Amino acid sequence: MNLKDQLIPERLPQHVAIIMDGNGRWARKRGAARIFGHQSGVTPVHDVVEASGELGIKYLTLYAFSTENWGRPADEIENLMLLLVSTIKKETKKLMDNNVRLMTIGDLSKLAETPREELLKLKQLTAANTGLTVILALSYSARSELIQAAKKIIGDAREGKITPEEMNGTIFESYLETAGIPDPELLIRTSGEVRISNFLLYQIAYTELYFTPVFWPDFRKKDYYEALLDFQNRERRFGKTSEQV
């Protein structure tokens, strides 16, 4: 029985988040420029998007570019933005054909005009699609997200729209960029690094973490299925005992 056939639909996560890591190191091992690693990282994006849609997973969040990544060499950032634009143009028809909706989280105002406009156009074009929702985290920082949420709450409190006594988890979550999106049940990080890197810090409170040594450009459907199999074999207790679950 192949890996995909071992998956139990009822035990699959509704939302998977992925830290796509290792492009640069993958390229360096091959004596190539870092951009070659980023270009080669497009294929596994195709794979996980396609596999998620086939399996009925509802949300897929991909950590594509953090606020810290703005500190990288200018030529690498420029090449990444060019790659983003070319990928968007190539994938538009496929996203529409497969009923995929695109969303973003992060500060898009920091992006150059062309990639920002292309992203906004694709988001608008796919907004009514009802299949898999792909959420790109671009120029994203979980700490910044929480700070911005706090600022909005303080502003609303000053205007009398909310009181401290009314604040609860549900209301707080409505101020986050991920408002209306369920928390990820599974977070995958590639390349062997074992850290969160300022990603969805609030949302992953009860998320199962899966770390694989596979570099992102080498990540394929079989690696994705292995992560999903590992997830569905775990017991998620949420603070309870095994007997209570």
Q: How far apart are CA 138 and CA 66, in angstroms?
A: 6
**How far, in Å, CA of 85 to CA of 119, rounded?**
8
Check if the beta carbon of residue 145 is closer than 8 Å to that of residue 177: yes
Contact 232, 12 (CB under 8 A): yes
Helix count and strand count (H, E) for the chain: 9, 6
- 47: annotated active-site residue: no
Structure tokens at 155: 């502003």
234 φ, ψ to 5°? Answer: -90, 155
| Among 2, 5, 21, 218, the one annotated catalytic | 21
Please say whether the beta carbons of 187 and 18 come within 8 A.
Answer: yes
Q: How far apart are CA 149 and CA 119, in angstroms?
A: 23
Residue 91's nearest CA partner among 131, 134, 37 is 134
Residue 128's SS3 state is: coil
Active-site residue (options: 69, 79, 129, 198): 69
3-state secondary structure (DSSP) of residue 194: coil
- Within 10 A of 173 (CB to CB), how many other CB atoms are there? 16
Whether residue 21 lies in the annotated active site: yes
- Please give the positions annotated as active site: 21, 69
